[in-house]
Amino acid sequence: MEWSRYLERLERRQVPIYLAAVAIGFASGALRPGAAPALEVAVEPAIAALLLVTFLGVPMTRIGAAVRDWRFLLALLAVNFALVPLVVLVITRPLSSSPDLLIGALLVLLAPCIDYVIVFTALAGGAQERLLAATPLLMLGQMLALPVLLPLLSGSAAIGLLDPAPFLRAFVLLIVLPLLAAALIQRFAPRWDLSAAMVPLMVAVLAIVTASQSPRILSAGTALLALVPVYIAFLLLAVGVGILASRIVRLDAGSARALTLSGATRNSLVVLPLALAMPASLPLVPAAVVTQTVIELLGLVVLARILPLLLTDARRPGGPR
C-alpha cells in the first residue's frame, strides 16, 4: 500500500519533477562540460528503455486497431507533412541571413517526433496507441520528405547534406527493438509490470539530454538567441494547427491530443547526428537543433498539463453518453 501511494504521489507531481530534471541536467552540463560525450552515448539507450516501458503499457491488440484508423492517420500525415512545413516556411524567414541557423532550424522543425512524444501523449491522456501505430509511417515520411523540403525551404545550400544512415539506426534502436521486446514480454510474461519505472526513466532521459547538450548551447554564445522566438512561435502555431485540424476531422479528445502533440513535437534526438555530420562551414547547426530540444522539453511539460483542458469530448449535460 505504501508503495502504491508513493507511485501515486510521484505521478501527481511529475510535471514539477520533469522541470527540475531539465534544470538540473542543464546546470550539470554547464558545470561539467567534459562529461557531455559520455552522456551523449547514453541518450539513445535511455530513450529506448523509456519507450519499452511505454510500449508495454499499450496492449498490442490496441495497436492493431489503431492502424486501421485511416482518418487519424491521414490527419497526422497532413499536419506533419503539409501544414507544419507551411508554418516552418513562414517563421524561419528571419533566419535567412544566417545559413547555419536556418538549416539547423529547418532540419529539426521539419521532422516529426517518433519517441518521447508517445510518453507526453500518454501524460496528456492522448491516444498513444494510435501515435505508436503511426511511428513507422512518420519515420518513413520524414526520411522521404527531408531531402526534398530542406533544400526547398533553405535554398541550394542544403543539397546533398543529408545521410539516411542515422534515420535507419534510430528507427531500429528506438522503434523496432523496444516494440519487439514489448510484444515478447506481453506474450510470455504478461504479469511483468514496469509502469513504476515510467517517471524515473523520463527524469533520466530529460536530465541526460539536457546535460549532454547544454555545453553546445553555451559555447554558441548569443548567436542562438535569434532561434528562441522562432521555436516558441513554432510550438504555439503547431498546437493551434493541431487543434484546428482535429476539429475539422472531428477527432475524439484522445486522438486530438495525440495529433496536436505530434505536430508540435520534433525529432531532435534523431536529427542531431545529421546536424553533427554537417560540414565545418555550418558550425551552429548542431547547437540550433539542441536549442530546440531544450525549448521543446519545457513546452511539452506545460502542454501535457493544459491540453486535457483544451481538448475534451464535448457532451451536453443529460445528453447521450
Report CA 163 to chain centroid distance, whole Å. 21
Q: Give the chain's radius of gyration (CA, Å).
A: 19
Backbone angles phi, psi at 265, to 5 degrees: -100, 130
| pLDDT (0 to 100) of residue 67 | 67
Task: Give the Cα separation of 42 and 27 in Å (integer).
Answer: 18
d(CA 138, CA 152) in angstroms, rounded, equals: 20
Nearest to 131 by CA among 62, 201, 231, 47: 62
Does the reported pTM lie above 0.85? no
- The residue among 303, 148, 276, 134 whose CA lies nearest residue 216 is 276
Between the alpha carbon of residue 258 and those of residues 12, 84, 165, 266, the distances in Å are 21, 15, 28, 13
Distance of CA 130 to CAs 87, 112, 275, 304, Å?
A: 24, 15, 29, 17
> Which grid cell sits at 9?
504521489
pLDDT for residue 319: 40
Beta bridge partners of 112: 266
pLDDT of 27 reads: 93
Residues in the chain with pLDDT values less than 50: 1, 315-321
pLDDT for the residue 286: 85
Closest CA to 261 of 304, 223, 315, 204: 304
What does the pLDDT read at residue 90? 94
CATH classification number, 20-307, choose in 1.20.1530.20, 1.20.1440.230, 3.40.30.10, 3.50.50.60: 1.20.1530.20
* Total residue count of the chain as it appears in this document: 321
The predicted structure's pLDDT at residue 63: 64
How far are the Cα atoms of 45, 205, 251 from residue 209, in angstroms, in the given order?
A: 11, 6, 33
